[in-house]
Each structure stands twice: as structure tokens, then as C-alpha cells.
Structure 1
Amino acid sequence: MNKRGNVWLAVAGLVTNTNGDWLVVKKRYGGLKGKWSIPAGFVHPGETLDEAVKREVQEETGIAGNITGILGIRSGVLNDEISDNMVIFSLRAEGDIRIKVQLDELFEAMFMSPEKLKEDPNTSVLLHYYMEMQENQLTKMNDKINPGDHFGYTSYKLFY
């Protein structure tokens, strides 16, 4: 069995800058090795999905971002055994937008226009799909809800 068990929960972040360019990375490993994709990684114990995506984006690229919504959920089963699930967020870059590439995991990272990505043969299938989405398809986040103290939540967020 894998160190993550048989149920995986990951996040990914499609980050845009003020010009509308997307923050893309080329991974050094896995099925996306050498392909343009978006920063992604696994959720750690004790963190919410939105905290995890902000952490992963910053760890891989040095870019801080504000969440603007959820683009979707990717869910699949690997080798009839592992449930592999990912929540894909939309974020807007904030503050210092100088990229600091995490070279352990990535070959490179940069902001690139969706038009240029569409023409690049190394662009992942998922990015092509999101090029077709409209902004009104994003979900929103409400972190002001308390379902009741008796549950014991220390963090609670509703995405709708």
C-alpha cells in the first residue's frame, strides 16, 4: 500500500495574473512530466482544501494567490485500487509575482497566455479543457458559516 493509503485527496490551482496569463509548471515526474500543467499537491492533515492549494502554489512557484472559486473536481481510480481525487481552484496572483521555481519537483514555471498554451503541444489535456470554461461557471466560498459548536469544527467552509 502507498504511504497515502488508498484514498488520495489533492488540490491544484489555476492562478491568473493581472494580464490574464496563467501560472503553469512543467513537472519532473509522473504522468505530466514535461507537460505544462498547474501547481498541485496533496492535502496535509489539519488543513482545509483552500489552505492546501494556496500552500502548494506558493511552495512550487513562490506565488501567493487569492481564491476566486472552484473550477471543478477530478476523480478517478488508479489500477482498480486507489481513489485519486483532486479539487481544482481558480486563484488570482497577489503581491510579489516573481516566480521562484521549486527545482526538486519542477523543470520550470512561468506565466503564459492561454492563447500561447493552446498552441503548445506540451500543454496538458486539463488546461485545454479549462480554456473553454466561462468565468460564471466558478463556485464561490463562504467561510462565515458555523454549523454548530457541537460538531467541533476549527475551520468550516462551504463551496457553492
Structure 2
Amino acid sequence: MSKRGKVWLAVSGLVKYDEKWLVVKKRYGGLKGQWSLPAGFVNEGETADEAVIREVKEETGIDCAVKGLIGLRTGVIKEEVSDNMLMFLLEPKGGVQIIHQDSELYEARFMTPEELLQEKEASILLSYLINQTNSFLIPCKDGLNPGNQFGYTAYKIFL
């Protein structure tokens, strides 16, 4: 816990292909043994959307492009750690051959939302996303400069 401090920023990616969702089964953490979205923490020097592309590639071998932001999951762990995760919609760029990261994952595969709803090892977040009927996509605006005085090397707005 101390490595990340007491404010965490994570990302997850919903990769849709051929009416199926890319899901992973983690080997560690609170979601160990459960199907969930590919996810991980934002590293120093990267934007959240860059982090989700990196995490999906690391965990599954699939190159993706961000379509937009679909949500935020936020919570507090043991009354002290602020745990925040931005959820993005992604689309594969090129092939969808899965090469899962053995050290972190038991498995990665594409499943239909219907299959996931029947899966007893699906995370609560997956079930909620599948049943969400009024979702919308928040697109990205890139190439903005709020002023040279800030020194941004990357600056994007999702609105």
C-alpha cells in the first residue's frame, strides 16, 4: 500500500470485439479468481488514457485505441486509502489474438455479456456494466494547451 501512497489512480478498459468483451482472471488481489476488465495503475509520466492502453497490452497482448471515458469507480479502503479507477471504452487495433500475462493472470478471453451474467466468478463491476442501460461515452479532446506557464507535456479533456 505504501508504494502508491494513500491516493490511488487506476484505469480499466472495456474492449469490445464482435459483440464480446475482453475479460481477465487475476492471480492476485481482491479480484483473484474473478473475471474482470483488464486494469492497472497510472504510472508517473503518463496520462490515464495512455495507462489503459499500456495495461491492456501488457495483460492481453492486444493493441487498442481509446474511444472515450465510460465511468469512474471510487471508494475508500479501511477509511484511509482513496481508491479511484477511470473506466475507458477501447477498440482493438489490428488483431485480437490474446497472449495473456502469465505472472498476473490465470486467463484472458472474449466473452459475451450474456455469458458473463451466467458466470459465478464475474466481478460486481462487470455485472453492473452489463445491466447499465443509460450509459454514454465521453469523448476525448486532445491537442489543447492551457498555457505554457503550466509546462504540460500532455493535456487532454474528456467532456
TM-score range relative to shorter protein: over 0.9
Distance in 2 of aligned mates of 1:135 and 1:147: 32
- Equivalent pair of 2:70/2:135 in contact (CA under 8 Å): no
Gaps of 5+ in 2: none
Identity %: 55
1:11 aligns with 2:16: no
Q: Which secondary structure does the structure 2 equivalent of 1:137 belong to?
A: coil
Q: 1:136 to 1:86 in 2, by over 3 A?
A: closer
Q: 1:62 maps to what in 2?
A: 61
Q: 1:111 maps to what in 2?
A: 110
Q: TM-score, normalised by structure 1?
A: 0.95
RMSD: 1.3
Q: What amino acid does structure 1 have at the position aligned with 2:148?
A: D
Structure-to-structure mapping, 1:1-160, within 5 angstroms: 2-17=2-17, 19-134=18-133, 137-160=136-159
TM-fit CA distance, 1:69: 1.3
Distance in 2 of aligned mates of 1:38 and 1:137: 18
Q: What amino acid does structure 2 have at the position aligned with 1:54?
A: I
Paired residues in the alignment total: 159
Gaps of 5+ in 1: none
Distance in 2 of aligned mates of 1:132 and 1:70: 18
Q: TM-score, normalised by structure 2?
A: 0.95
